[in-house]
Chain A
Amino acid sequence: MTETAGEKALELPNIVTILAEKAKGTPLSDFLLTWQSLIFSLIIIMLLSVIAYVASRKIKEVPGRLQAACELFVGGVDDFVRGIIGDKARIYTPFIGTLFIYILFMNLSGIVPLMKSPTSNWSTTMALTICVMLYVFYVSIKEMGVIGYIDHLLGKPRGIIAFSVFIPLMMLVLHIVSDFIARPLSLSLRLRSNIWGDDMLLAVLSGFGAKGIPLLLFNTFLVILASIVQTVVFCLLTTIYFTLVLTHEET
């Protein structure tokens, strides 16, 4: 919502900006522009909720198309998460699966006319990253305990290293930077920047008129590919963060 004027200028018009334009000079216009990404996020949430509700309303022994698609998605995510984390993964499947479908829909909404990718807004990706980090932190505390987690942050100093102050301190700084700064920044900025870049490119190519249509179509294909790849990367990294925490206890 606090994007620079330059970034705004390259945006394609969407339903919210059109409405804001119509209500220009009123508090509604400011409200719409301020919560633009959230409005699209809520539209996607509503869409996903309706799909989930309709699909789960009449579950049959022989599934229809929607039920089969949902089963495929749920089974696929479950296999994916369990394949990486192991048998403990079942409890993390809903979280990672919801992230996956939510991010994928948000990424792909950029190519739908009059829509915008909420993930091109850093606040959106940062919010998702905060959810991931808080959950990973919670799992860390749950698995290792408070003392165990502090021990982990200090790099598990044992023997002579335990008596030195420098190395555990360095490990603490390293872990804090890694777990609380580098990871959230990289996770959120990677997704936001890729999707924002795709949206910018679409906006630029749209300005070429009829001549830009072939390039626009090709770029749309690239956007779809990038959207899927970035979704997979985000969820894969999330799963790996869980894995690191869970296997830490075992090792």
Chain B
Amino acid sequence: MELLKLLSANEIVAQVISFLLLLFILRKFLWNKFTKVLDDRRDRVASELLKIEDAKADVERIKADYNVKLDGIEKAAKEKMEEAIAEGRRISEELRQGAERDGQKMIDSAKLAIEGEISKAKDQLKDDIVDITIGIAEKVIEEKLTEGADKRIVEEFIKRIDRA
């Protein structure tokens, strides 16, 4: 009971009121404001993290798309290249065939020209032979023929033909 003398009802009441006053003040200026600040910051950090996660997922998705597109581009490029090679081959084949055709045409035309020239030459030769024959015949007619002279005329004729 001696211990209880240390207590004072008035002081207890006053201290209770003081504490309640402090609780009211701190609730208003400290707890309400700072818990709100901390909550806001926590929410903001959480939302930022969520955004980062979303951005990360977007990046992954874009990367996957990019890889798919890159593969597609590589495939398309390969196809284009193959097409170009095939086209080149086709063009070169066409050129080769065209060149062959042109060459053949030139050969054919050259052959025709040669044949023409030969024909011309033959005609010329024929004409010459005819002229010579006519000339010889004229000579034969003009001169009195002997056996020796005949032989000479024939030989001369043969020589002329050889020269022609």
Cα of A90 to Cα of B32 in the assembled complex, Å: 11
Contact with B along A117-132 (1 / 0, CB 8 A): 0100111101110110
The interface residues of chain A lying within 8 Å CB-to-CB of B19 are 98-99, 102, 127-128, 131
The interface residues of chain B lying within 8 Å CB-to-CB of A122 are 3, 6-7
| Interface window among A48-56, A138-146, A226-234 | A48-56
User: Does A123 lie within 8 Å of B12, measured CB to CB?
Assistant: yes
**Cross-chain contact of B16 among A34, A42, A130 (Cβ < 8 A):** A130
**Cross-chain contact of A35 among B14, B30, B34 (Cβ < 8 A):** B14
User: Does A102 lie within 8 Å of B30, measured CB to CB?
Assistant: no
Nearest A residue to B22, CB-CB: A45
B52 to chain A, nearest CB (A): 19
User: Does A53 lie within 8 Å of B29, measured CB to CB?
Assistant: yes
User: Does A71 lie within 8 Å of B29, measured CB to CB?
Assistant: no
Report B5-19 residues with CB < 8 Å from chain A CB. Answer: 5-8, 11-16, 18-19
Cα of A123 to Cα of B11 in the assembled complex, Å: 6
The interface residues of chain B lying within 8 Å CB-to-CB of A59 are 33-34, 37
A139 to chain B, nearest CB (A): 15
**Cross-chain contact of A93 among B15, B16, B31 (Cβ < 8 A):** B31
User: Does A70 lie within 8 Å of B6, measured CB to CB?
Assistant: no
Using A3-B6, A56-B34, A127-B11 as known contacts, say yes or no to A49 and B18 having CB atoms under 8 A apart.
no
User: Does A78 lie within 8 Å of B38, measured CB to CB?
Assistant: yes
B27 close to chain A: CB less than 8 A? yes
User: Does B29 lie within 8 Å of A45, measured CB to CB?
Assistant: no
B3 to chain A, nearest CB (A): 8
B95 close to chain A: CB less than 8 A? no
Using A37-B11, A71-B37, A127-B11 as known contacts, say yes or no to A55 and B30 having CB atoms under 8 A apart.
yes
Most A-side CB within 10 Å, residue of B5, B15, B20: B15
Cα of A49 to Cα of B25 in the assembled complex, Å: 6
How many residues belonging to B are interface residues under a CB distance threshold of 8 Å? 29
**Cross-chain contact of A56 among B5, B21, B22, B29 (Cβ < 8 A):** B29
The range of chain A's interface size is: 35 or more
B138 to chain A, nearest CB (A): 135
A97 close to chain B: CB less than 8 A? yes
Report A59-102 residues with CB < 8 Å from chain B CB. Answer: 59, 70-71, 74-75, 78, 90, 93-95, 97-99, 101-102
A38 close to chain B: CB less than 8 A? yes
Nearest B residue to A54, CB-CB: B29
Cα of A128 to Cα of B15 in the assembled complex, Å: 8
B76 close to chain A: CB less than 8 A? no
Cα of A56 to Cα of B37 in the assembled complex, Å: 10
A1 close to chain B: CB less than 8 A? yes
Cα of A131 to Cα of B6 in the assembled complex, Å: 19
Using A2-B6, A74-B38 as known contacts, say yes or no to A94 and B22 having CB atoms under 8 A apart.
no
**Cross-chain contact of A127 among B16, B21, B31, B35 (Cβ < 8 A):** B16
B23 close to chain A: CB less than 8 A? yes
**Cross-chain contact of A41 among B18, B31, B32, B34 (Cβ < 8 A):** B18
The interface residues of chain A lying within 8 Å CB-to-CB of B37 are 59, 71
B111 to chain A, nearest CB (A): 99
Pull 30 A–B residue pairs with CB atoms less than 8 Å apart, ordered by A. Answer: A34-B11, A35-B14, A41-B15, A48-B22, A49-B22, A49-B26, A53-B25, A53-B29, A56-B30, A70-B34, A71-B37, A71-B38, A74-B31, A93-B31, A93-B35, A94-B32, A98-B19, A98-B31, A102-B19, A102-B22, A121-B6, A121-B11, A122-B3, A123-B6, A123-B15, A127-B12, A127-B13, A127-B18, A128-B19, A130-B12
